[in-house]
Amino acid sequence: MNPLDTRRYAPATQRNREPILEILQQVLPPQGTVLEISSGTGEHAVFFAPRLSPRTWLPSEPDPRSRESVVAWIEHYPADNLRLPLDIDVRATVWPVEEDVFLKSVPPIHAIVNINMIHIAPWPACLGLMAGANRILPSGGILYLYGPYQQSGKHTAPSNAAFDDSLRAQNPEWGVRNLEDVVAAANAQNLTLLSTHQMPANNLSVVFQRG
């Protein structure tokens, strides 16, 4: 491996990117900017952007090392509609994309995509994501979430229960969220549940629309 190559790898990306793309092609608005919150390694961004053109794909990632990885992936697989990542902490009361200078530099944000974040973050990150979506998305805008969920307070598979235990052992504020709690947090921010979709490895795609 090239020691100067700062790309990072998430094995799950190879397994879930095609099924996620299929849902995104169904639910995303046909144009505008898609803001990806918590882009992780950047592998999803370089895969989705060229396949979702003419939409603009805008990654973001608060962790500096992960942001370096996103940039490195973009350097290896550039696309005309793929932007460099922003530093966005969803818990902030104002995100950089809300600043006037930035708003003039990209098409309007019509969708927000968040993959595998809310269970590997404190609950206030989920609340911040919902609040940001309410502030930024227009009426009819889409918020897409992907990851594992409990339903009615119960895990949907033994593997998810074991995963939840491992997350909470790493950080007591992490954990597989109850879908009903996430939906309630969304409803409080003018976001309505449109659909859920069964995905690989006992995950869900959860789609909200701003009122």
* Pair of tokens at residue 148: 């594992």
What local confidence, expressed as pLDDT, does residue 100 receive?
Answer: 87
The contacts of residue 15 (CB under 8 Å, 6+ apart) are 200, 201
The pLDDT value recorded for residue 73 is 98
pLDDT at 3: 65
pLDDT (0 to 100) of residue 1? 53
Q: What residue has token string 């190559």?
A: 5
Looking at 52-107, which runs of residues are DSSP E strands? 56-58
Asked whether 142 and 108 are in contact (CB, 8 A), the reply is no
Assigned fold of 11-210: Rossmann fold (3.40.50)
| pLDDT score of 133 | 98
Per-10-residue mean pLDDT, the chain, length 211? 84 95 98 98 98 98 98 98 97 95 91 98 98 98 98 96 97 98 98 97 98 98
In Å, what is the CA distance from 134 to each residue of 29, 56, 191?
16, 20, 7
Residue 197 DSSP SS3: strand
Residue environment code for 94-121, b if the CB has 16+ CB neighbours within 10 A, otherwise e: ebebeeeeeeeeeeebbbbbbbbbbbbb
